[in-house]
Structure 1
Amino acid sequence: MDWQDEWWTSSLGRNGFWHREHPADHFRTSAGDAGDAAMTAEYLRALLSVLPEHLRHHSGAPGHGSPAGDPTRIAPTLVDLGAADGSLLRAAARARPGWALHGVDVRPAPADLPPTVHWHQHLWDVRTTGWTGPDGLPTNLLGPDGPDGPLLVVAHEWLDDLPCRVAQRTPTGWELLGPHGPTGWAPDPAEACWLEAWAGDARTVEVGLTRDRAWAAIAASLPPGSILVAIDYGHLRRDRPPEGALLGYRDGLLVDPVPDGRTNITAPVAVDALAAAVERVPGVRRLLVARQSTVMADLADTVPADPLPADRGAPLAALVGANRRRALADPGRLGANWWLVHAVGPTP
């Protein structure tokens, strides 16, 4: 089998990594984990800072938001794709008590989620380009009884875990690779077009078409006024890693990407290809494409008009928050992540 098939089986198959392992045991992300609420709070602050004005300062609680009669008083609905242990949703429940909160993940709901959080055990299937429920049957993002109205959809380090094909340049064209080397198969026409447009000078490339299709399909399914935020590590055409960038993580260590069900297999996102794909969806417009370090720097230059509850705590909490902001802004680590923010249709 090629890399996409092997990756799918080892990561998202019935006994794959995402069904049996706890992500926090293997890697750390900007969203932190249940044991680092300060990191998650600062990450949420950065997320709120890039939203349109009517969302950024609206808590949905009495006494906040827009004047009575203004339709923007309707509390936003936050959807966290790849919600893992629910850290971001917990932070949002504290900071924005009036928001409707939804977590989407292949795993069952973690224990002790706030009662305002709705959990959806859904899986994005790159093979069919659609969502499936726990029963394996097709569904939509939040199931048949999902909320009406605009959504704020956040995919934090979700796209990089979607399996994709890996191709190698040869004297006669591109050839697909598997974990054990060349397969002898050529990419299909759509993959070949993607490679022509986005591979750059790289000799080995993760074909980002599965990620592009996922993000564009999600955008196309959202009602007007929705916002999409993809936050992930990635690269541009001009700096694609020459020999590819397929990675493995296990027990906090960077290891070979072995499809054994115990290793988190991941690959950076082709940021420019992803942005181009979602911007081809009718009505979608770009709000921001920037490094996380830039987002954090911009945040540091502003005084939040609607501070998070953590701001009202003790000086020690403020010091911890400042340390977390520095970690999130570090361009050599978490700050290297890309933020892609897009709006769907007219703002409500």
Structure 2
Amino acid sequence: MTWMRWAPAMEQALYDPDGGFYRRPEGPAGHFRTSVHASPLFARAVARLLLEVDAALGRPEELAFVDVGAGRGELLLGVLDALPAEVRDRLRPYGVEIADRPAHLPSTALWTDELPRGLTGLLFANEWLDNVPLDAGEVDGNGVLRYVEVDTATGEERLGGPVSDADAAWAARWWPVRRPGDFVEFGGPRDAAWARAVAGLDRGLAVAVDYGHLAGSRPPLATRTGFREGREVAPVPDGSCDVTAHVALDSAAAPGLHSLWTTQREALRALGVSGARPALALASTDPVAYLRALSGAGEGAELTDSAGLGSFGWVLQAVRMPVPTSLETLVGWQTLTS
């Protein structure tokens, strides 16, 4: 048996150069489906958001689009395809990912495993923070908050030593636990990772999209889970499956910025994605257009399903720019305080 705290176990399982899950050639799409894979409507909505940002920034000479956790470049390509030529000519696209550069990317796209700096534009992280490794803790029978350790071969868990002062302070602020059996997933590493990403913008908008929760609605049970070949599996950190955990989105929001939150359902609706079926009369006048619209409605319904992808949280943070008016007025944003 090899016992480790959850953070180093996740780091090894997901990112180890010699067999980490995200180094595998098939990429994430070989194991699970994100909004990007569900429909091209998602990339088109992000492209519309990028156009909103471009306008709010005064259409800068160089506009950046940063796809953090870019997988195999699916979102990056979808956004590029959806932009008008005038914007593409000014665009500097970045894919941030540890995997090798996909061969099909255009030469204008910069592929890097480092978060870029000094940019003006849109930074977008879709299902990235849930894969940033983090530790978990549980209150023991004596009221002491201890780390949860995991056997990397079997996924079996046990309680380890008392948590650090930093993790205890994070829990006290964001996820208070008091009674024996209470658990917490320490979000400090996600907070730091997102702060580093947002710091790359001189001016622009940073958006994190993920499974998540806010204070007052923390999950009653551990959220760690695994995915392999399209199925949810036990989160055994042996490199054979994805290991993920939901994100404390209010904690992650970088301090000192205008920070807003909404669900993916509301955000995508504001960006023109709808699951509404086309008028039946269209079937008589233009059957091909009707079938096309019907297919798009099905994809839009999946992306905005409040019991599925539509329940994801969107955190939006403006860096030295106004929040695009159309978004702030159309979406039922909730202001986050850090």
Q: Equivalent of 1:230, from 202, 208, 227?
A: 208
Distance change in 2, residues 1:94/1:297 (3 Å):
closer
- Picking from 312, 316, 338, the partner of 1:337 is 312
More deviation, 176-185/20-29: 176-185
Equivalent pair of 2:54/2:60 in contact (CA under 8 Å): no
Distance 1:16 1:53, change over 3 A: closer
- In structure 2, the partner of 1:268 is 246
What CA deviation, in whole Å up to 9, does each residue of 1:119-171 have, x standing for no partner?
Answer: 11x1xxxxxxxx5xxxxxxxxx23xxx6x541311110000001000111223
Which residue of structure 1 lines up, in the alignment, with residue 100 of structure 2? Answer: 108
After the TM superposition, which residues 307-326 of structure 1 pair with which residues of structure 2 at under 5 Å, given as runs?
315=289, 316-326=291-301
Aligned to 2:61: 74
Deviations 1:187-215 (A, max 9, x none): 21111111112224582221111000111
RMSD: 2.5
Corresponding residue of 2:172 = 196
Aligned partner of 2:46 in structure 1 is 47
Contact 1:75 1:100 in 2 (8 A): yes
Work out which of the residue numbers 187, 191, 195 in structure 2 matches 1:216.
195
1:289-322 per-position Cα deviation (integer Å, ceiling 9, x unaligned): 10001113334599xxxxxxxxxxx724443322
Once residues 273 and 106 of structure 2 are traced to their aligned partners in structure 1, the CA distance between those partners, rounded to angstroms, is 32
1:155-194 alignment to 2 at 5 Å? 155-170=125-140, 171-179=142-150, 180-194=156-170
Aligned equivalents of 1:301 and 1:93: distance in 2? 18
Matched residues in 2 for 1:220 and 1:75: separation? 18
Q: Report the CA distance shift for 1:117/1:320 in structure 2 as closer, same or farther (over 3 A).
A: farther
Q: 2:336 aligns to what?
A: none
Shift of 1:172: 2.3
Shift of 1:71: 5.2
Scaled by the length of structure 1, the TM-score of the pair is: 0.76
**Structure 2: stretches of 5+ with no match in the other structure:** 151-155, 275-287, 324-338
Q: Please tell me whether the aligned partners of residues 93 and 114 of structure 1 are also in contact (alpha carbons under 8 angstroms).
A: no
**CA distance in structure 2 between the partners assigned to 1:205 and 1:75 by the alignment:** 42
1:289 to 2:261 alignment: yes
Give the TM-score taking structure 2 as reference length.
0.78
Q: Secondary structure at the match of 1:226?
A: strand
The 3 A distance-change label for structure 1 pair 54 and 207 is closer
Q: Which residue of 1 aligns with 2:333?
A: none
Q: Is the 8 A contact 1:232 1:268 kept in 2?
A: yes
Indicate the SS of the match to 2:103. Answer: coil
Aligned residues between the structures: 290
Residues 2 and 183, structure 1, Cα contact 8 Å, conserved in 2: no
Letter in 2 for 1:16: G
* Distance change >3 Å, CA 193–CA 52, structure 1 → 2: farther
Matching residue's letter, 1:27:
F
* Structure 2 residue 229 is the aligned partner of structure 1 residue 248: no
Paired position in structure 2 for 1:61: none
